Structure 1
Amino acid sequence: MSGISLAPVFLVGLLGSVHCAGMCGGIVSAFSLAPARSFPVRVATVRTAPTAALGRVLAYNGGRIASYCAAGALAGGMAGGARALAGLAAIETAGYWLANIMLAVLGLYLMDVWRGLAQLERLGQRAWRRIEPATALLLPLDSPSKLVAMGALWGWLPCGMVYSVLLTATFSGSALSGAAVMAAFGLGTLPMLAAMGLAGARLRAFAGRRAVRVASGLVVLAYGLLGLARAANGVSHGWIDSLCVGAPGWLP
């Protein structure tokens, strides 16, 4: 595919990060604590100074986003190579449709209207069970390198939201564009997850409110539906292109 609009992907990450508050809130808070000789999620006593906590937050989130980029590069490179060999323009159109269908599904997932993405998360648990034992080798989390490595492992935690955006990366056309898609998504989730690491339970309570989740889900759903309407009608205008996850070249 000739290109991709990263701004909507960033906003999907930003809005979808309300899901992270419930799924990853405990992990984020634990990673922000001072190092201890036990699994970090069980630690709930000593906190680091604010500046040190910020450093820890940025370290493990950097590792997490790096894993997203690696997954995006792998998926985008493999799909891009297959398309180059096949030379089928139909793959582009199918990819555009699938990416926007997944955005619509993600919107419903965020609103708790339909939990279809939870099935993907259950499939991902099989791979996670093989990765999870490696986290014990990094304890205690007493150095930036360990925090980055732990964040990199955390990036492979089963998450339907990540999988939905990874589909966009898959059909982005190349390893570089796939990595860019996942980097934009990861940076979109960073404000919420970084704030959770510093503010803790208060922010998690706000992000967990149904009104917040519904509002965020509606916007993500609107992105997906707008992209599908654009695909169905063959519409390509500047303002629409800037709101859709696919660039103009995605459509015939």
Structure 2
Amino acid sequence: MTLDLLSALLIGLLGSGHCFGMCGAISTSLAAASGANQIRTGFAYNVGRILSYTLIGAIVGFSSSIAVSKLGVPLTLLRLFSGLFLIFLALYLMKLTSVLVVLEKLGHVLWRHIQPLTKKVIPVDSSAKALILGMLWGWLPCGLVYSTLTWSIASGSALDGALIMLFFGLGTLPMMLSLSLGGVTIRQYFQHSLVRNIAASAILCFGIYTVVIASFALF
């Protein structure tokens, strides 16, 4: 489990350059609108976002525990599934495939019902509104989030699933908090093609390793 948490943290950190394309607009507008309360508002927004990730991780972790205990689905098979998704994520970050875009489009079915709620807390003129906005924005369809969620599925428990997504969210915090505070340097660093490809290569290696270990355990 320690390895899973560390991996989730690193995936969040290494893949967070992708977050600018998905969440950058809301984060930068938050920074512009928050004035003197910029730090407090930016922090509240990101806490809300990470809370949503944690909740989603608990939900899918609990669902997988039911699948394992009631339906007899092998946990190793779920681990193989998560490893394949890490490989897809790496290729997606390298811009070699758009397969995760399909998943993001499926996620828009739910997002269509959540997005209108975000307008009720805009303009963000308090930490409470920023927290709620973050909790809502955490449900935004994102291939990076979905790929990490497969680790929560493979965890086989609500608690472990929640912890995996908590650590993933913490990994994205440096990038997203920087955006919320109007940072530019860290954004340029994470979006650099060399950094992106190094991050994707690291995720690819871990995905292949996971698939190989799970395959040996299964077969």
TM-score bracket for the superposition, by shorter chain length: over 0.9
Corresponding position: 1:80 with 2:65: yes
Q: Is the 8 A contact 1:103 1:224 kept in 2?
A: yes
User: What residue number does 1:8 align with?
Assistant: 7
Aligned-partner residue type, residue 212 of structure 2: A
Aligned-partner residue type, residue 100 of structure 1: G
Q: Which runs of 4+ in 1 moved over 6 A?
A: none
Give the distance between the partners of 1:32 and 1:140, measured in 2 at CA: 12
Using the TM superposition, give the Cα deviation of residue 169 of structure 1 relative to its aligned residue in structure 2, in angstroms: 0.5
Give the distance between the partners of 1:113 and 1:153, measured in 2 at CA: 30
Q: Computing the radius of gyration over CA atoms, which structure comes out larger, 1 or 2?
A: 1
CA RMSD of aligned residues (A): 1.9
Q: Is the 8 A contact 1:104 1:224 kept in 2?
A: yes
Give the distance between the partners of 2:210 and 2:53, measured in 1 at CA: 23
What secondary structure sits across from 1:33 in the alignment? helix
Give the distance between the partners of 1:171 and 1:104, measured in 2 at CA: 15
Give the distance between the partners of 1:150 and 1:199, measured in 2 at CA: 18
Aligned-partner residue type, residue 178 of structure 1: G
Give the distance between the partners of 2:126 and 2:168, measured in 1 at CA: 26
TM-score (norm 1): 0.81
User: What residue number does 1:59 align with?
Assistant: 44
User: What residue number does 1:196 align with?
Assistant: 179
Give deviations 1:96-116, integer Å, cap 9, x for gaps: 100111111111111111111
- 5+ residue gaps, structure 1, are 36-47, 235-250
User: What residue number does 2:136 align with?
Assistant: 153
TM-score (norm 2): 0.93
User: What residue number does 1:213 align with?
Assistant: 196
User: What residue number does 1:176 align with?
Assistant: 159
Using the TM superposition, give the Cα deviation of residue 22 of structure 1 relative to its aligned residue in structure 2, in angstroms: 2.4
Aligned-partner residue type, residue 121 of structure 1: E
Q: Is the 8 A contact 1:22 1:204 kept in 2?
A: no
Give the distance between the partners of 1:5 and 1:200, measured in 2 at CA: 30
User: What residue number does 1:131 align with?
Assistant: 114
Q: Is the 8 A contact 2:32 2:182 kept in 1?
A: no
Using the TM superposition, give the Cα deviation of residue 204 of structure 1 relative to its aligned residue in structure 2, in angstroms: 2.9
User: What residue number does 2:124 align with?
Assistant: 141
- 5+ residue gaps, structure 2, are none
User: What residue number does 1:96 align with?
Assistant: 79
Give the distance between the partners of 2:192 and 2:157, measured in 1 at CA: 38
Percent of aligned pairs with the same amino acid: 40
Of 118-127 and 224-233, deviating more is 224-233
Give the distance between the partners of 2:4 and 2:150, measured in 1 at CA: 14
Equivalenced residue count is: 219
Aligned-partner residue type, residue 200 of structure 1: G
Aligned-partner residue type, residue 101 of structure 2: A
Give the distance between the partners of 1:220 and 1:164, measured in 2 at CA: 11
Give the distance between the partners of 2:182 and 2:124, measured in 1 at CA: 20
Give the distance between the partners of 1:21 and 1:103, measured in 2 at CA: 20
What secondary structure sits across from 1:63 in the alignment? helix
Using the TM superposition, give the Cα deviation of residue 74 of structure 1 relative to its aligned residue in structure 2, in angstroms: 0.8
Give the distance between the partners of 2:40 and 2:77, measured in 1 at CA: 42
Aligned-partner residue type, residue 18 of structure 1: G
What secondary structure sits across from 2:33 in the alignment? coil
Q: Which structure's residues are more often helix, by fraction?
A: 2
